[in-house]
Structure 1
């Protein structure tokens, strides 16, 4: 008989929807967490009829069952970080906000409102319900389209991204990372096309902020399905491992280039990112 030799990894929790196509949502979240040496637990908020070409339908889980799933996980595991993804309805957003209120763990809010295909995933009421959850967030990670929904202002340039991130911090989030994948083309000092992600962190009660910009090479592909899920999960996993916020964001942003470059060529659509390719640095 072999000796039992268990490992004791940090535990993270994803609260998000299921992607039947496997490229985003709970499926991408758990893969990214595993790639970072973190044990992933899950609260499912909705199931989707989804593939690489788009979203065919969404079926929400009853809010009381979302609360029950959360209570089951929180009552058994020492959850060291939480991330939220697609929350489907205003009632679920409010339920999740109430559930995590007393959590002693960093909270990464990925406000999944617009799919990479352009499909709107939430009702206007659900979008409006995000304000209290954002106020509770350690970090909120919208793409440009979601930042527009949250702030009511166009987000088309890195300067717009900084303004939107500042507004989200003013709403109460400790920090905001506005992802640059959907922004107009930006070049670095050598003329290469890059993605610019903008991080704004609140530094004091009087409104002071620290601003960071992370440039990554733009990969020549449309296969970015699941990129936001993988990135927010990678950040949450790093926070669960005890990394500081700025370092966790910087490392996760840098490693996403490899996840996109080595994406999955599956399905009849553009494909999906590869969370298993994340180089988590040990």
Structure 2
């Protein structure tokens, strides 16, 4: 069983909706704690409505005090206070196999992106895995992660802040025919790669990746095996969704393999 902590996307393409679909596809039971309600679709960026910190805390207590959670994945936080709620639970040892996908809110709407990034820095030491994309890694580190070499350096620097493993995802970085991720684990560095798929439907790919890692950890996979599985799943799900026309903008991934038959 996996608990996902993150934002709600009413269009179903990202956030906890994408997480729960991914868990269902992988035959893992999923529970959720919602941090924000997002008004969004494939065309428009989200208008975020933050769930009060005490309500988030209540959701965590309701799930963790009753259900056999084997892994936890976090996504979007709307405030430093929301991050602090989860950090408090992690500090007590109550968040097993914690996968932190450090999704950052856009500046504005009463939200401080910088404050959330600083708060995430205090959650990272409790993470088994952190999975920032290049933009998120740049915000956490304070310098621009622009190249595969930068991704490698960023993974090492973020690992020094406490996570046992860091994956800097680079699917948006055009580097030829391969989609590269930089992995720092066990004091060693490596790249993960998969064939690049030219497709517009990539919405929620970071959510799917991090959730798949959590799912495979909950099922008993070793860390590197879980990462490799998640990388392959995202590549297949993007490819399978290439022909979808759900909305006029960037659509979701096909985590179920429906298009493959």
The TM-score with structure 2 as length reference comes to: 0.92
Are 1:197 and 2:197 an aligned pair? no
Structure 2 residue corresponding to 1:235, chosen from 207, 213, 231 = 213
Q: Deviation per CA, 1:171-198: give whole Å up to 9, x if none.
A: 0111100001122x213xxxxx111011
Bigger radius of gyration among the two: 1
Note the C-alpha offset of 1:122: 5.6
User: For the residues of structure 2 that align with 1:84 and 1:275, how far apart are their CA atoms?
Assistant: 19
- Greater CA deviation, 229-238 or 214-223? 214-223
Structure with bigger helix share is: 2
The aligned length equals 251
Alpha carbons 1:16, 1:26 under 8 Å: kept: yes
CA RMSD of aligned residues (A): 1.6
Q: 1:104 offset after TM fit, Å?
A: 5.4
Runs of 5+ in structure 1 lacking a partner?
Answer: 1-10, 116-120, 188-192, 204-208
Residue of structure 1 equivalent to 2:132: 142
Q: Deviations over 1:7-46 (max 9, x none)?
A: xxxx110000100111000100001111111100000011
Is 2:259 the counterpart of 1:275? Answer: no
Q: Which consecutive unaligned segments of at least 5 residues does structure 2 have?
A: none
Contact 1:16–1:43 (8 Å) recurs in 2: yes
1:245 aligns with 2:229: no
Over 3 Å counting, the alpha-carbon distance change for 1:89 and 1:103 in structure 2 is same
How many Å apart are 1:145 and its aligned residue? 0.6
- 3-state SS in 2 of match to 1:197: strand
Residue matched to 1:111 = 102
Aligned twin of 2:15: 25
Q: Give the superposition deviation at 1:223.
A: 1.6
- Misfit runs of 4+, over 3 Å: none
